[in-house]
Structure 1
Amino acid sequence: MPDATSIRPLPADQIAHWDHEADVVIAGFGVAGASAAVAAAQAGADVLVLERTGGWGGAAAMAGGFIYMGGGTPLQKACGFEDTVENMKAFMKAALGPGTDEAKIDAYCEGSVDHYHWLVDECGVPFKESFWGEPGWEPPYDDGLQYTGGENAAPFNATIPAAPRGHVPQMSDKQSGGERGGGYMLMKPLVDTATALGVRAEYDVRAQTLVVDADGRVVGLVAKQYGKQVTFRARRGVVLATGSFAYNDTMLRSYAPKMVGRPAASIEEHDGRAIQMAQALGADLAHMDAAEVAFFCDPQLYIRGILVNGRGQRYINEDTYPGRVGQATLYENKNEAFLIIDEAAHDEAHTRPSATPFLRHKPKWVCETVEELEAEMGLPGGALQATVDVYNRHAANGEDPMFGKKAEWTKPIGSPVAAIDLRGMTGGFTLGGLRTSVDSEVVHVSGEPIPGLFAAGRCTSGVCAGGYASGASLGDGSFFGRRAGRSAAAAS
């Protein structure tokens, strides 16, 4: 058998024997792979899923579990919120760019309510009909709905009617991350549904390279399992769903250098192999520099103060989506941030419920006046004083003309005053990847689909082209994973 350690595709005539066969072969058993498996099986295909680790779940099973859906889902309506497809489109195109794939966003928004029903009615994903309105990365309890993209904050709330679209599966005794997070209660019903539909799975299988026939059609792949080469034939199509390249430093240095050394909300198996396998066939890429950036501070804390950069200047409204704070910190402010907060606000934050109390960092400097604090921090003389003076002058009237922070969070900073050092407190995962069609076909650099090859999830460039909203990964992965499964099942 030819050596499959090379990333280059193998001609089918060099495969003397296929170890396994199925109509649809899926690489990856996270949310995109599981959704593809269910959809392909529902379409009548014989489905085989290959998973690199010893069990299903991927990064999705360890996530908070948000699925970004809207346009008037039953959960939104039950919680008293009105939403429309057009408002959802407008927000996503404004917040997830620049350069969003408008056709994908249109399809995603127009199909969102149907996708909700598919998850609930056909796959058994549970949602509690309750809304969590406190600041935070995710609800600390089992509430089902939350704002997760800054929809209700400046600049978006001035022109686009806000609606919460972060749908999180219900789970009792939930913990942030790991097998007790909301993501587990998305993955388990999907996997159970796939199993009930007859989907087969092989574990500890690491996809290595694609196999193509004489016409250039993808007809299978070669993998490593327990150190041995194993061949998998796909009678209809191959679906790639193996995650991002957040743990591939070589790719990060080439495409997203600011993310080197700071992976978060991803797993080590996210090494970009699927992207490279498809690239070797001439697959096009998109938005490889884009990344979600988490900001490692509890929103209950920093929403009550002001965030300043290394020059002592504010740079964002603190009541927006935490991922926007992280991106602004890393990309626009040299990864330098300090939280300026007074004692009363600090103490109040510690009384509020949070899913991330471990991100409530202690102050590094505490002083009676801003002038003393500025000196202690080593900031340019007068810089922080000017920032606080301007903020306080308008905050006395509940206003923030600089950034549009909402009145409920805009209060003058008093004394004593502290600064929390948040330099370097960012991490995240890549958003770019293979360019795919709205039907999850992998697109060649010529603009034509590569026959027999489909992809979904974080190995693709989905609805996020730069900005992000929590739930966009699981939403995009499950939505376009479904489409990948259906497309692969229908291929011939």
Structure 2
Amino acid sequence: MGRHTDYWDETVDIVIVGYGFAGAVASIEAHDLGANILLIDKNITPGGISICSAGGVRIAKDRDAALAYLKKTNAGTTPEEPLATLAEGMTRIARFIEDIAEAAGAKPVTNWMGGTYPFEGYDTFGFISIIEYPGVDIYEKYPHVRSLRGGTRLFAALEHNVEARGIPVRLSTAAERLITSPDGAVTGVVLRNSSGTTRVRTLGGVILACGGFEADAKMQAQYWQGKPVLPHAYSGNTGDGIRMAQAVGADLWHMWHYHGTYGMSHPDPAYPYGIRLTKFPDWIPGHDEPKDVPAFFSASQGKRMPWIIVDARGKRFMNEYPPYLQDTGHRDMEVMDPVTQTHLRIPSWLVLDADGLAAGQLGLQTYNDPAQSFIWSEDNSQEVDLGIIQKAETLEELAGIMGVPASSLRQSVELWNNHCAAGEDSDFGRMKESLIPIQKPPFYTTALHPIVGNTQGGPVHDGQQQVLNPFGEVIEGLYTAGELGSVFGHLYISGGNLAECFVGGRTAARQAHCKAAETVQTVKNKSL
């Protein structure tokens, strides 16, 4: 890390690293407080992984109820202070988003859909999202993005507000190293672009809002049992902020935890992303269907999931439809078998029949990448032709494609069909509404891998988004926001990372602004 502070190319109050939701929010908040800021992103386009999200930001009616839920869903992995900040912020952030939307001419909507799990306080939660953005064609504005659209609309509104304020933005500019003073405080950052390096002094500090390590297989291998894990949507999150923070003494937390599911791979190595299967509605164990469901949670097939999943032995091993499939769907796949010294469930194999394939679009591509143009076909025919989905007239032929024992596969399918006839999955407890038999040839399969939507691990922070060292001490001048060092360390709540982007981004900006004011005052006092 750079420790020399006698030479600077430029000086600002705050440098914000990463132009997704968290970076945009932090820059807007800091600007509105009067700070002189610089917003950078290493990619040629902004948006990060945020732009690929569903765009539903978690909000709450009651701070104490939200805190009770967050404490339970984190199971002791996160101190109360940062959870309390998030809970309080969830009760206040809607007004900020409404203001952002109004300034951009977009239309926000609020839905009061409870938390993901039936913990104390689950019914205090809802979502706020951008449901309409009149006059803006998001596919024309962001032709390199394919997503659930809600995240794209929300980012478009934020980008409008950044541009309207004249906030300085530098794309294709990477943060390489943090610069510290002799006492360890962060006083600046080394930036690199095509013109070379720039040493930027910061009076208030650096806010790291540059995401996690979804696209860094080496870092994943040090923390995750299952491998390989395919990135879902974005190749720019390679752990840069984690390494920079570590270099100045940051502690880490939640590095094992990632938001993910199971999904397919594309045969073309030029397409580096995993492909999620079509979305099915989330559900809360022991509770009725929520009535105020946001549009981004809608699903064309209801809960009629037409497939099962088997391992390398042709055996079914999991409930394919847990309450929050897009978050925990990968977890059962990660077990390593010491007897064979292999991951018998990586890859796993999806099994469905002719009716299942005809039920609707099986896959959903998601990416923020100008190099990509792949779009999944509505009738799945393109994917059969590409070999993503493979076809067989009999289960025995299907087993040959999969490389599993034919007798085991047939037994697994017959047992599944018996569960469907009985109306109960006595093996893994899959919900009754999702029990769809696999009977009509031809049969289809595709290899499945764990897919990471976004990581939760990163630098430990306090309730003011200040990064901490392993002794719980603040590293002055260093802040984090968004998924980089997320508070979620056990079970995630849908929309929680987006809430962290907004609450954490604003909190970090306020702290850094205060730090800048203190620095200026200190300099003035020394000159007297």
TM-score, normalisation: structure 2: 0.72
- Is 1:44 matched with 2:34? yes
1:148, distance to aligned residue in structure 2 (A): 11
Query: CA contact under 8 A between 2:37 and 2:167: conserved in structure 1?
Result: yes
Q: Distance in 1 between matches of 2:309 and 2:176?
A: 45
Task: List aligned pairs for 1:66-465, cutoff 5 A.
Answer: 66-72=55-61, 99-100=77-78, 103-122=81-100, 124=102, 126=106, 129=109, 151=116, 156=117, 167-171=128-132, 178-179=144-145, 181-197=149-165, 199-256=167-224, 258=226, 262-268=230-236, 270-294=237-261, 295=263, 296=275, 297-299=277-279, 303-311=305-313, 312-318=315-321, 320=323, 321-330=325-334, 334-350=345-361, 357-358=376-377, 360=380, 362=384, 364-367=390-393, 377-380=402-405, 382-416=407-441, 418-424=443-449, 426-458=451-483, 460-465=484-489
What is the DSSP-based 3-state SS (H/G/I as helix, E as strand, rest coil) of the residue aligned with 1:464? coil
Query: CA contact under 8 A between 1:49 and 1:199: conserved in structure 2?
Result: yes
Q: Distance in 2 between matches of 1:221 and 1:352?
A: 41
Cα deviation, 1:96-150, whole Å, max 9, x if unaligned, reads: 6783555434432342131122112245474564xxxxxxxxxxxxxx869898x
Unpaired segments of 5 or more residues in structure 2?
Answer: 264-274, 281-300, 337-343, 367-374, 519-528
Amino acid at match of 2:498: L
1:336, distance to aligned residue in structure 2 (A): 2.6
Query: CA contact under 8 A between 1:170 and 1:182: conserved in structure 2?
Result: yes
Amino acid at match of 2:312: G
Query: CA contact under 8 A between 1:71 and 1:86: conserved in structure 2?
Result: no
Q: Distance in 2 between matches of 1:57 and 1:421?
A: 31
Amino acid at match of 1:10: R
Cα deviation, 1:253-279, whole Å, max 9, x if unaligned, reads: 4334745573332233x2322222221
For residue 9 of structure 1, what is the aligned residue in structure 2? 2
Query: CA contact under 8 A between 1:319 and 1:405: conserved in structure 2?
Result: yes
Cα deviation, 1:365-418, whole Å, max 9, x if unaligned, reads: 5456x6786577554465344444443334334333443333322234333362
Q: Distance in 1 between matches of 2:183 and 2:365?
A: 56
Inter-CA distance 404–445: structure 2 relative to 1 (3 Å threshold)? same
Q: Distance in 1 between matches of 2:427 and 2:409?
A: 15
Amino acid at match of 2:219: M
TM-score, normalisation: structure 1: 0.76
For residue 5 of structure 1, what is the aligned residue in structure 2? none
For residue 53 of structure 1, what is the aligned residue in structure 2? 43
Inter-CA distance 177–254: structure 2 relative to 1 (3 Å threshold)? farther
Q: Distance in 2 between matches of 1:218 and 1:445?
A: 16
Query: CA contact under 8 A between 1:29 and 1:49: conserved in structure 2?
Result: yes
Inter-CA distance 401–185: structure 2 relative to 1 (3 Å threshold)? same
Q: Point out the more displaced range, 46-55 or 99-108.
A: 99-108
Q: Distance in 1 between matches of 2:155 and 2:407?
A: 53
Query: CA contact under 8 A between 2:278 and 2:363: conserved in structure 1?
Result: no
Inter-CA distance 489–423: structure 2 relative to 1 (3 Å threshold)? same
Amino acid at match of 1:119: I
For residue 138 of structure 1, what is the aligned residue in structure 2? none
Q: Distance in 1 between matches of 2:127 and 2:206?
A: 30
Q: Distance in 2 between matches of 1:46 and 1:119?
A: 23
Inter-CA distance 352–22: structure 2 relative to 1 (3 Å threshold)? closer
1:451, distance to aligned residue in structure 2 (A): 1.0
Inter-CA distance 93–379: structure 2 relative to 1 (3 Å threshold)? farther
Q: Distance in 2 between matches of 1:438 and 1:327?
A: 29
Q: Distance in 2 between matches of 1:229 and 1:260?
A: 34
Q: Point out the more displaced range, 30-39 or 89-98.
A: 89-98
What is the DSSP-based 3-state SS (H/G/I as helix, E as strand, rest coil) of the residue aligned with 2:346? coil
Query: CA contact under 8 A between 2:456 and 2:487: conserved in structure 1?
Result: no
What is the DSSP-based 3-state SS (H/G/I as helix, E as strand, rest coil) of the residue aligned with 2:445? strand
1:177, distance to aligned residue in structure 2 (A): 8.4
Inter-CA distance 196–375: structure 2 relative to 1 (3 Å threshold)? closer
Q: Distance in 2 between matches of 1:477 and 1:318?
A: 28
What is the DSSP-based 3-state SS (H/G/I as helix, E as strand, rest coil) of the residue aligned with 1:183? helix
1:230, distance to aligned residue in structure 2 (A): 1.5
Q: Distance in 1 between matches of 2:439 and 2:125?
A: 33
Amino-acid identity (%): 25
Unpaired segments of 5 or more residues in structure 1?
Answer: 1-7, 73-83, 130-143
Inter-CA distance 203–469: structure 2 relative to 1 (3 Å threshold)? same
1:350, distance to aligned residue in structure 2 (A): 5.0
What is the DSSP-based 3-state SS (H/G/I as helix, E as strand, rest coil) of the residue aligned with 1:265? coil
Q: Distance in 1 between matches of 2:114 and 2:278?
A: 14
Amino acid at match of 1:38: I
What is the DSSP-based 3-state SS (H/G/I as helix, E as strand, rest coil) of the residue aligned with 2:479? strand
Q: Distance in 1 between matches of 2:511 and 2:256?
A: 28
For residue 141 of structure 1, what is the aligned residue in structure 2? none
Inter-CA distance 385–178: structure 2 relative to 1 (3 Å threshold)? same
Query: CA contact under 8 A between 1:57 and 1:187: conserved in structure 2?
Result: yes
Query: CA contact under 8 A between 1:259 and 1:428: conserved in structure 2?
Result: no
